[in-house]
Amino acid sequence: MPEATDKIYRSWPHGPPTYSQANPSHSRDITQNPDWNYSLFDCCDPGSLCLMSWCLPCLTFGKTQARNHDATLNGFSYCNADCTIFTGLALIYSHWIIQTIRRGEMRERYGIKGSCCGDCCATFFCSCCALVQEEKEAELRTRAELGYQMTPGMEYK
């Protein structure tokens, strides 16, 4: 059975959260990692996510944004506002603008190092790879089994 800290993409949350957390320091290494846990060019694994991001990128974008709002994906629908905005902008090849904004918000939320310029380049030149990276990152960092991890400034010693 896969561990909560295994970097295996799960397209949907599985069942209720388990409270037998893995090694807390390993969980903290994942949830408080200042770098992306997945490479930008690790976009072919899993193939189903890669294919969906290539053929229907609005669906991956919408799912990632929904996951950032509610990690359980309760009430999730592929026809959502983020998907519609992405599709509308994609018609005039401007989808990278909203993707850059959301990628920056995601970096801020999870404390990932980077810059607006780097986000812009990733989403403009390699949009599909960036979508896969963002979805896998959001899924990994919002796993219920990892639980809430205090940031280093909040720890009691």
pLDDT by residue for the chain (157 residues), tens only, comes to 556 666 778 777 765 555 555 566 767 777 788 999 999 999 898 999 999 999 999 999 999 999 988 888 888 888 899 999 999 999 999 999 999 999 999 999 999 999 999 999 999 999 999 999 999 999 988 887 766 444 444 444 5
Global pTM value:
0.81
Domain ranges of the chain: 40-150
- Tokens 């949830």 sit at which residue? 31
What is the rounded distance in angstroms from the CA atom of residue 106 to the CA atom of residue 30?
Answer: 15
What is the rounded distance in angstroms from the CA atom of residue 153 to the CA atom of residue 139?
Answer: 24
